[in-house]
Amino acid sequence: MAKRHSQKLRAEFRKKHQGRVRKRDLTRKFHEGNETELDDVIQSERVSGKGELTRKRTVLGSDSAPDEAAGMSVRLDDGSTAIGGRVLSVHGLQSRVLGDDGRLYSCAVRQLLKSLSTDQRHVVAAGDRVVVRPESETSGMIHSVQPRSSTLCRTSRGRQHVIVSNVDCLLIVVSAAQPDLKPGLVDRFLLTAERFEIRPVICINKVDLVDQATLQPVAGVFAQLGYPVLLTSAATGQGIEYLRALVHNREAALAGQSGVGKSSLLNAVEPELGLRVGEVSRENDKGKHTTTAAELIPLRSGGFVVDTPGIRQFQLWDITAEEVAGLMPDLRPYVSHCRYPNCRHLAEDACAVKEAVADGRIDARRYDSYCHLIEEELA
């Protein structure tokens, strides 16, 4: 079998994590008269930014690692004791990792990974596949993060907040009432799912609180676009069997605002989970954050589900204004028929998208959501 060679990569590190700085005591050593030591110091000094004087270092990585994951998958000294694992949750500086040996480890992240200069708010996220060096039966150190197949992320303070990674299904949970359904939030989740190639499923929960006929206009539009729409009620059990079959042997993430009943749905799918649930505030009709961190939960029936914290604002990450129309399946067929190739579909003349809205071929609410994103979110 051919020997696998390592690939040398240049990774950029944050400046605040620099090592030792340039020595500044050359004059003192000269006056002390230690000429031999002075010669050694002069030979080791460099005017150009190399070695410890630069933020970039050469590290070893896997040949199969993509460029964007080069720094995350560095391989310096994993050794024979290192094992693979899956991050179940991240709490501050500690991460719960399920090792390939079946044990649970409380792991810190090695300083090298934390020193990498990236756009990410946190270097490790729930769902990551990592390489861990066990330090005891219950603790270890995360040495590298494997390339991610998919990410559910948003913008947080100008940086990328990875909520969960390596999932194949995104269950967008909204509620029919308490709190009210927000189609605009669903549109943002759908754009992210399209951008990062995750299969979306729209779940409208708490349907027992309203007349289900009132949900048809919204549910019908999403269904016509090809998105599966599931009506559920954790209280009455409606749609739970279908939901249980949907997550069987899959890796599905549940996302939505606080109070829509994500944890309640998971408890209904598998009662043994016993996840904490909270009441919706009667004063402002908003949910309380009972789930504080994304958590990967193994199911007895096979697969994983990810219970994520409630999100009240979901700002898009790595999606430009020019890409939005192409990521919306109802607007996409008309984009190439506009008069101007750089048409933004707002106030331009001879815009095929606006004509389709006027003719009823594109839902007016979806177009309003598009305009809001372009004019306010992605201006």
CATH number of the domain encompassing residue 226? 3.40.50.300
Q: Do 170 and 98 belong together in one domain?
A: no
Q: Is 40 contained in some domain?
A: yes
Q: Do 282 and 163 belong together in one domain?
A: yes
pTM score of the predicted model: 0.78
CATH number of the domain encompassing residue 364? 1.10.40.50
Q: How far apart are CA 62 and CA 70, in angstroms?
A: 8
Q: Do 326 and 226 belong together in one domain?
A: no
Whether 379 has a pLDDT exceeding 70, the answer reads no
Q: CB of 168 within 8 A of CB of 198? A: yes
What average pLDDT score do residues 288-300 get?
77
pLDDT of residue 146: 94
Q: Do 135 and 173 belong together in one domain?
A: no
Q: Which of 101, 160, 153, 154 is nearest to 127 (CA)?
A: 153
Q: Do 168 and 303 belong together in one domain?
A: yes
Q: Do 158 and 296 belong together in one domain?
A: yes
Q: Which of 342, 347, 204, 199 is nearest to 262 (CA)?
A: 204
Q: Is 11 contained in some domain?
A: no
Give the count of beta carbons closer than 10 Å to the beta carbon of residue 87. 25
Q: Which domain holds residue 138?
A: 68-148
Count of domains in the chain? 4
Whether 255 has a pLDDT exceeding 60, the answer reads yes
Of the two residues 133 and 63, the one the predictor is more confident about is 133
Q: How far apart are CA 356 and CA 345, in angstroms?
A: 11
Q: Do 72 and 198 belong together in one domain?
A: no
Of the two residues 44 and 112, the one the predictor is more confident about is 112
What average pLDDT score do residues 278-285 get?
50
Q: Do 288 and 143 belong together in one domain?
A: no
Q: Which of 142, 150, 165 is nearest to 73 (CA)?
A: 142
Interval 21-53: pLDDT, tens: 555 665 665 566 555 555 554 454 444 444 444
Q: Do 225 and 265 belong together in one domain?
A: yes
Whether 363 has a pLDDT exceeding 80, the answer reads yes
Q: Do 277 and 192 belong together in one domain?
A: yes
What average pLDDT score do residues 183-206 get?
95
Q: Is 58 contained in some domain?
A: no
Of the two residues 113 and 206, the one the predictor is more confident about is 206
pLDDT of residue 301: 81
Q: How far apart are CA 208 and CA 205, in angstroms?
A: 8
| Range with lowest mean pLDDT among 64-68, 124-128, 164-168, 262-266 | 64-68
| pLDDT-derived band at 258, boundaries 50, 70, 90 | confident
